Structure formats: structure tokens, C-alpha cells
Amino acid sequence: MAIVTLSDYLLQRAKADNGRLIRDRLLVGFCARLYKRRRSFMVSTSCCGKQVRVTIGFYPLMKTEEARVIATEIIKRCRAGTYLKNDIQSTKTYKSIREILPQYIMDKGLKQSSLGRYDSVMRTHFSEWYDRPVNELSLPEFAEHCHLFVRTQTVRFYASTNVL
């Protein structure tokens, strides 16, 4: 387990073993977990003698400085003994997919043409979700919309190839 100063550059360049934990040197309890395809910000500390592990967000949807601010608030509450997980989760404000998509494309190193394709798919098939906060994508309604989308697209594909 490495102890370093977490930064966007480090998260972008770090080699990821599955589940590798990197702790921040500046803020004790703030850390990042690295997987092959995902990097997440976490707080790992204790409150009133009980272990607290909270996933704050995912890089590159959330920058290191944003995560550090949220982690600082969680750690302060843990030290005061007043931490409630739902308290912090409800104060987070999430950006919409439309706001995050250009930065996501840039951070992932994808071509600019990918932005156009993603934007087109979102406007065409997921228009009602495009301007909603990212955290709402975990709602059952979004899952149902995705299942419906897959079913209709599969039928269209087979109908266009004359397989049916």
C-alpha cells in the first residue's frame, strides 16, 4: 500500500493491480482504489471505534480536489463522532451526463468523434436522462429503460438482417 499525494495525474498514469489501495499523504484517511478499468475515491477511517469505508466517487467523473473536499468533511464528522453516511450522500451535487461527457472523453483519451457518437446516442435514445444528475442512473427506472432499449434494438437488428 503506497502513501503518496493523490492527484489526477497520478490516477491517470498509475498501473492498476486489481484493488490496489493508494493512501493520500496530505489527508489521513483519504485514499484511492485502483482497478484495471476503474479508479474510485474512498475514505477509510474510524468513527466511535467502528471502521468507516465510504466510496466518494469515481475518477474521471470526479476530480481529486473535489473528492478531497468531500473526504475532509467526512473525516471531520468521524473525528467529532457525528458521522452519518446518508448525511454526506444527500449533500452531494451531481452533474448531468451532458456536462460530464466532454471531460470524460478527454480524460479517457478518446477521439473527439466519439463525443459526437455518444452525444447522438444520448440525444436519440436517452434524451430524458441526458440532463438528469449522474447519480440517477442507478435508479430502477433507468435500468428498465436500458432493458427496453436493448430489446427494441435487437428486434430492429434481426429485422434488418432478415434473420427472423
Domains and CATH numbers, the chain: 2-91 (3.30.160.390), 97-160 (no CATH)
pLDDT tens string 16-63: 777 888 899 889 999 999 888 888 999 999 888 888 889 998 888 888
Residue 104 has pLDDT above 60, yes or no: yes
Q: Are 126 and 145 in contact (CB under 8 A)?
A: yes
Residue 71 has pLDDT above 90, yes or no: yes
DSSP string, 87-139: HHHHH----BHHHHHHHHHHHHT--HHHHHHHHHHHHHH-HHHHTSBGGGGGS
Distance CA 23, CA 8 (A): 14
Distance CA 7, CA 11 (A): 6
Q: What are phi and psi of 153, to 5 degrees?
A: -70, -35
- Give the global pTM: 0.56
DSSP string, 45-82: EEETTEEEEEEEEEETTS-HHHHHHHHHHHHHHHHHT-
Residue 162 has pLDDT above 60, yes or no: no
pLDDT tens string 112-147: 888 888 888 888 888 898 998 888 888 889 889 888
Candidate from 1-15, 100-114, 149-163 with smallest mean pLDDT: 149-163
